[in-house]
Chains A and B, each alone.
Chain A
Amino acid sequence: MERRTFLTTALVGTAALALGVNLYAPEHIKVNKALDSEHRLLFSVLLPVFLDDALPEVEKLRIAAQNRTLDAITQTISLLPADGQAELEQLLDMLENRLGLLVLTGSMTPLMMRNPDQLIAMLEYWRNSFLDMMVTAYQGLRELVLASYYSCPEHWNRLNYAKPTFLEV
């Protein structure tokens, strides 16, 4: 690619990304856009896909469940050993950056501008990839999101499960 075209595309892309963020950041997700060091925005886009049918239908409950899961994800990440954290951070950074997106998903469109079917297609592409890197990216995110979601007792209703209460006075 010629240097000039590359730069132009990069600039356009950055603008699009910024636009994407502004336009598509869901209102209810508690993120400080300037300081999204916890990748909340990114996860807020992925959660509805990973948790389709698991999240409550009532909007208020769904939003609360999503926010709770985002907090749990932050907590889970903080518990990973340094190596694991570094690997995950690299993946999340790539997903927030156009070139990274191109490498991982074959498209530069920011994730928040993709619709659920496109996001599912992306996950399926990783899941079935012949490259271990892609498969582990899928599995890493999958495990992080699902473990974080089901770690919250508030999300056990659908399982008809609750922990025993004999210890409660």
Chain B
Amino acid sequence: MAIPDPIVEGLASGWKHIDASQLSQDQTLEADVVIVGSGAGGGVAAEILTDAGLTVIIVEGGPLKSSESFNMEERRAYPNLYHQAAAMKTKDKAIGIFQGRAVGGSTTVNWTTSIRTPKPTLDFWAKDKSVQGLSREELDPWFDKMEKRLNISKWEYEPNRNNQALKLGCENLGWHYTVIKRNVKGCWNTGYCGMGCPVNAKQSMLVTTIPAALDKGATLVSRAKVIELEHHNDKILAVKAQALNEQMQPTEVKLVFKAKHYIIAAGAIHTPTILLRSNLADPHELLGKRTFLHPTLLSGAIFSDPINGHSGAPQSIYSDEFVWKHGAASGELGYKLEVPPVHPVLIASKTIGYGKTHAALMEQFNQLQVTIALIRDGYHEQSQGGQVQLTDTGFAIDYPLNETFWRSVRRAFGSMAELQFAAGAKRVLPITEGAPYLNSWKEAKSAIETLDLGPLKTVVASAHVMGGCPMGEDTKLSMVDSQGNSHYYENLSVMDGSVFPTSLGANPQLTIYGMTARNATLLAERLKSSS
């Protein structure tokens, strides 16, 4: 069945799109504003600034792909739509990181969970991180606006069985849970959000803000990897990029972008990388430090009935029972409970072992329920996140996992097992080396006490990269102010997940949408009044 593809239609209608892989000569382009990155931050900024009548160029390192190429297969989606074909890892290889790399950024592949920034997070930022003007009362109108824009509403369908287990477990234990709001319109409830929505129901940047900006005359340059910013005194002079070919390897072609104002929205990890590579002023050496991941643990559970975790909205229930239990910064690290979609490559690689034991696990693919615990990092003094570092060939992320972290992991494995048994699991398998199948909560409780947890033993993953270019008013703590404007360069702003001073304790997209909507609106007013 043919699904209308807004990208194919938009291109046919004359959108200004340059696929840098097709260029044979160097180019210089100019606009009022150049935006680096087309994800949650870049996409929202592009629409708002174009709407305000400014000329905008969006520079994206990844390719422009759309529903006609989204075939629900990981072997196509990962190389086309993810950084490092979804195999990115921290320096010591202990944490696997998922991050989008295509027009639409991570929103093209994310799972549509939309949560407003938790109040304790904003309170902590105000009190400890010198962030101003970002209380929930001040942000709520922007969340309202973006929820309307992206059709974010409570998922009214029955959760799939994977999520239902989370719900049932919480109900039986009397734990908190919430039905998730999702940014979808006419969702087919198929479960392939992570491979690019095949029916354009997900209201990602790819089908909302970017097409809107292009309709109004913005220019999109894809497969153009920004290398550095040229600067002098307190001004940015240009953005320099390198064209990539279809295999995403550099070509000879160089691009230069010039603007009155520059917005960097390449996401946590890449925004700090670009700024570090550009040798920008950073007197307190903050860039790239305090990178947060919501490091995530997995617990498998075998049910006697089919779970079919590949089918249906991937996330529709979450539990905040343990996120703030011990306060924001004291006690043990909090964790949020959710479920991931279950797809063959994802599960085959994010489990343990090989040969017979692995094959036996894979044979139960349809009976497998997976719960995840996302650890809230960046609050506790023993949870300071990781660091993005430049290397000869690119960047590395050093993220040490310490005792405080592993204590939380043990508790999280316990909570997940308790929840899964309460939901009717026959057997539970914490995804860590040496863990056996556990047959009851009683057995699990004592086994988990003594599991040998650690880096490279315990599977740790992340789909939420945050931080590395923090916001705030105190220059000792921040690179940009609370509106995302650089403390050191008058025509530079950062609008993406890198500005978070800690992790969120909630899935990040709506926070980025809301904050960027506010910051881009304020910037548009400023740019208009100065022109």
Contact = CB atoms under 8 A, between A and B. Distances in A.
Interface of A: 49-54, 72, 75-76, 78-84, 120, 123, 127, 132, 135-136, 139-140, 142-143, 145-147, 149-153, 156, 158-161, 163-164, 166-167, 169
Given A139-B456, A150-B344, A49 B355 contact: yes
A169 to B, nearest CB: 7
B362 A159 contact: yes
B1 A167 contact: yes
Nearest to A169: B1
Given A146-B348, A163-B72, A80 B87 contact: yes
A135 B352 CA distance: 13
B356 A80 contact: no
Contacts of A142: 354
B456 A135 contact: yes
Nearest to B249: A82
A79 to B, nearest CB: 4
Given A147-B349, A150-B345, A167-B71, A84 B2 contact: no
B176 interface: no
A53 B394 contact: no
A167 B71 CA distance: 8
Contacts of B3: 167
Interface of B: 1-3, 71-75, 78-79, 84-85, 87, 92-93, 188, 190, 192, 198, 247, 310, 344-345, 347-349, 354-356, 358-360, 362-363, 365-366, 391, 393-394, 433, 456
Contacts of B74: 151
Given A79-B79, A152-B75, A164-B72, A53 B359 contact: yes
B349 A50 contact: no
A49 B365 contact: no
Nearest to B357: A53
B393 A83 contact: yes
B355 A120 contact: yes
Nearest to B68: A167
5 residue pairs, one from A and one from B, having the closest CB atoms: A53-B359, A151-B75, A159-B365, A52-B355, A54-B359
Given A49-B355, A53-B356, A160 B348 contact: no
Nearest to A164: B190
A161 B393 CA distance: 40
Given A149-B348, A160-B366, 8 more contacts: A50-B355, A51-B354, A52-B355, A139-B456, A151-B74, A151-B345, A167-B3, A169-B1
Contacts of B310: 161
B93 A139 contact: yes
A79 B359 contact: no
B355 A51 contact: yes
Given A152-B75, A166-B1, A83 B363 contact: no
A33 B502 CA distance: 54
B348 A163 contact: no
A136 B93 contact: yes
Nearest to B356: A53
A110 B356 CA distance: 24
B345 A53 contact: no
Contacts of B347: 150
A83 B1 CA distance: 41
B345 A83 contact: no
A132 B91 CA distance: 12
Contact of A54 (B198, B247, B345, B358): B358
Nearest to B84: A81
